[in-house]
Amino acid sequence: MTDDTTQHNALGRFRLRYAALSDVGRVRKDNQDSGYAGPNLLLIADGVGGAARGDVASSTAVQIIRRLDTTELADGTDTHEALAGAIHRTHDRLAELVEHDPELDGTSTTVTAAVFDGTRITVGHVGDSRGYLLRDGTISQLTKDHTFVQSLIDEGRITEEESRTHPHRNLILRAVDGVHETDPDLFDVELATGDRLLLCSDGVSGVLDGPRLADILGTGSVDYAAVELIRSALDAGSTDNITAVVADVVDASAAASDDDPETSAAATTGPMLVGAAAEQPRRTGTGGPRSFFRGHRSGDTGELEPVADGGGSHDASRPVDPEALRYAPRAPRRFGWVRRLLALAVLVGLLALAGRLAYSWSQDQYYVAVDAGRVTIFRGIQSDLPGVTLHSVAEHTDVTVQALPEFNLDQVRSGIPAESLNHARDIVSELTNLARKCPVPEPTPSEDPTNKKRDGKKRDSSPTPSPSPTPTIEPPACLQDASASADASPEASPGAEPTP
């Protein structure tokens, strides 16, 4: 896996000793990652698309950008311009592939590349693959993810640790897809002897944090580091393809005279191509890529059938699209019941608030209807809910329903809505004017209050009253005129004698 090149820029002080490794992982059926390591170029491309063949996108990117390792740098072209141009050519090539094969519509790839000129690297980056630098035992992330969760981190809404379990942690905002023109992030990194570089897909960085990466990269050769990165990512539960490119920065003159087999010209194996880019020429008839760890006691998963993410069963006639699963939002696995309980509490609170506001509104409404045979003003609305009364009597009136004309009686029985209490009173006043008035009774002469006989003695001529049943009081069928009733009340006879 190791290559220690003797070809380097004549003006350069360093050269690279590199190793590259890619594994399909424990869940995916296909490896859609591609990787490349050469004397002047390190490259990672993570294909996106699932059924749209993300492996085609990543291998296309590697096949185009890898040319920077041989021809274009020899012309003395500016590394920024050369790298940006190669990424844009990848974009154009993907557009051509989709035009010729519509089934590839939706395919795209991340790109993280480092062009080495002998003293520094020029990094070109699009997507969520990452580049790291380990120097003097301290690791630093060179690239910045073009993802939704990274935007939340930048805004201070979540932490780096929280982003690892965020339900939208794999939502990519920028990628090379042949549709949207994407300008890559371009920058230079000055190198020093003893630096160790890492380019990896999110199958590694998604499950291994900075301290763990530093621990692995700080031990052993580049070969050892690449293997341990893959193994550790699998042990940490990575469900994605896993690809890592590791390179050491060594002094050019010292390495050329070194007799160590790992650094001598005899150990040179040339550029390294891994993942989908290496599998593409021999895909036919192979039945898919094999796990690097098949049969190995530590991380032995090769014999297991790939399973859908989450382990759930599915219809065999509808195969699971692994990339669709990867880039679909996932609920966080930890403390899911707490989130569901909080969501339920919020929902109940919102419903209670809505109910309270609706009830408060109902109590500002009025209408005129019938209660106990009389026209009555009600507060609320003319309907009820199970267990909840939405109206109450606001004011009783003296207007009986029998005194109303038939048309107005039907209106009152159906309920007459009012905009306010005053409006309801106005309605009652109109009904009062329409009600039938009771006739005014004629006054009758009063009997002699003294009821005396001619002989001067009192005489009671009235018969002894006999008890009678209490009459039933019903609402009158007419409206009593208060003023007329007062005028029609009996008065004392002018000839009556005052009571002594």
The DSSP-derived string for 223-272 is HHHHHHHHHHHHHTT--S-EEEEEEEEEEHHHHHT---TTTSGGG----E
Q: Which pLDDT score is estimated for 480?
A: 64
Cα–Cα distance between 122 and 115 in angstroms, integer?
5
Rounded to an integer, what distance in angstroms lies between the CA atom of residue 225 and that of residue 200? 12
The span from the CA of 410 to the CA of 406, in Å, is 6
Helix (H) or strand (E) holding 273: strand 272-275
- Which residue type does 336 have? G
* Res 75: pLDDT: 54
CB 176 within 8 A of CB 8: no
Length of the chain: 500
Low-confidence ranges of the chain (pLDDT < 70): 1-12, 50-52, 71-77, 254-269, 280-336, 439-477, 479-500
pLDDT at 414: 85
Exposure b/e, 288-316, CB count within 10 A at least 16 = b: ebebbbeeeeebebeeeebeebeeeeeee
- Residue 288's SS3 state is coil
* Amino acid 489: pLDDT: 44
3-state secondary structure of 205: helix
Residue with tokens 């306010």, as numbered in its chain: 420
Q: How far apart are CA 241 and CA 31, in angstroms?
A: 6
Quick one: pLDDT at residue 398? 82
Q: With contact defined as beta carbons under 8 Å apart, do 176 and 111 qualify?
A: yes
Contact of 358 with 351, CB cutoff 8 Å: no
Handedness of CA 354, 360, 365, 366 (dihedral sign): positive
